[in-house]
Structure 1
């Protein structure tokens, strides 16, 4: 929803796109740090507790954003929202794994498809809903709507989620490891938000905290992240990398294209949101059609090809581009949205250590939000003077290069062929190092 609200918020507070970009960066910084940390807590204490706490934080964030008197309070609400929503995906993947173990059914592709469709609905219907809310009562409504949604999540979660019991390792959660990880990632992410030579100390601090983190994790009995297992699981590391690259282009399109539609094409927020509806329809349709097929390699390659096509098509856009071409582009970009996220989700389920499914799912989301953060930084750089045609075309060249790199990585990863075999034929065990 925020994608179509950045321009109205900037006008309301009289700030340029480089400052409203913090509304995106702040949430993704919080989520990039929070996902694996909360995912590990899900592994230790069960999904129900963490999901309910996260839902409550999301509601508080919505209330704070609705009443925000200035931009930086709005940014703080987005940071709180990032931590609150960090529980949802790790909790879902943890529930899937525990249900698979309970029933003995090792092929969850249908449920994973349903989860992916849910993600697609909220991700790509958000701009349209955001545009309608802004048209009805202003940008404050896109924050206020989180309050009733949070209450619904609290009620449904309390009624439906299994209570479960903490795992054996719940009393041995590696809190110092989590803090060193969070400190290191935060320093790097803050630098990426505003890269400059004057901020040289941030990556240095991040590297120092990262070294302490690695030293500790290699020596503790129950580490937050088992780096030996993770380093030996090359296919899973490649999946994380794919997730990052794919979402650089995905989120740059969401935020960059939406801002250009309003500033460069002269549309209203509501009109910009409606123009993204074909993306929603295509993404959901593609996910529904392909979701039950366990093979991931074909999905990734086809998705990468359409990503390249969509990024290159941005070079054709001008202030007088006819609406039918904008609608067609939106529909084309929906194809990789429907294929890539689901494929990476299936790959994770097959490649990750079952005992650390929550933490692994959190890391997958972390790499997604790192990609989103890089996209937000790119949008701030290319749209420094506004979302002009020239800025959009410069960003399109960068995005085409990223999409081409993603395609090469998909073609080169031979382990993807084995993911389908595990997902369709039996136990989803992590690959042998």
Structure 2
């Protein structure tokens, strides 16, 4: 029996007892990884034909999210109809292992937030295949770790078990682009598949339009003692949020949009370069009539089929931020929206008669302003009076020649001065 532990302080003591008993092999590691975990159960003979497979990938999610773990079990149906399934967090053969689900009930720590479902996948002859799915809700950061399934069966020859390879879960407070990893099976180097996606942030306005680009290059055929053809049309999937998270949403798959994005999402393909047997294409996803809920990270996943199997690769993700155009914070919009507005703008034609009328009215207005200005200058000039006559300014007196007026005034004053004073 193999026993693995990370309790470094207890290793010398346990190793001493293991050496004395000669029954236990102890392995101590600084950190416990999936490859360190071995199945400590008694594996059944080949006649039972028990097979247990579990996706050995990393899945991510956010706090208060949801995670799923799958365990596929195939065996001869004549041995047992109801195998018992155990789910463990951390290695099943480690002292740090925690029971998450056993049989039909969750452990105390996971009660009311863990559930298991069973689906019949295939039943061929006497070979039965089932998928056991563990669901954990209301995730928290402490739920991060490796989860293993252990299948136990009973036969007339005894009790046996098989173990899955483990699935890693990482829970984050917020999900960033760097947390996302591709969980697909990448092709061998001979296929030379390369997927690139700009890891930038695109800003658009409500009811606007956004574009996402995914460049794919691959060999149309390759030689390895024989020619293997790759499908001419790789299948492209577009996801909102990380492809390896349970919060992801399918936006576009193959040649059709999902139900949520129907009639407002489209994909186009452009041939960029074809050199020898290397073919390069650009897949462009367009989303129209944007709303605030469309904000998020968008990823492309390219899947191809070869004679050796099905492979895939993922883009790095492009972030979209949709903002309300009426908020003060909105100072920029995407270049695509600018192009759309420029292409759809059509000036209204103006009648030549209206242009002529506008010109005449403008000229008449200028002439009227000049006349009013000249009249004001004349009034100011003519009514600028001598200080002695300020009191007479309001009296409408006939205007006389200045010379005649001066002589008249002198006559009046001289007459007053020279007139002899009369005595009684």
The structure with more helix, counted as a fraction of residues: 1
TM range, normalised to the smaller chain?
under 0.3
**TM-score, normalised relative to structure 2:** 0.21
**TM-score, normalised relative to structure 1:** 0.20
Q: Which has the higher contact order (CA 8 A, sep 6+)?
A: 1
Q: Which structure's CA Rg is the greater one?
A: 2
The structure with more strand, counted as a fraction of residues: 2
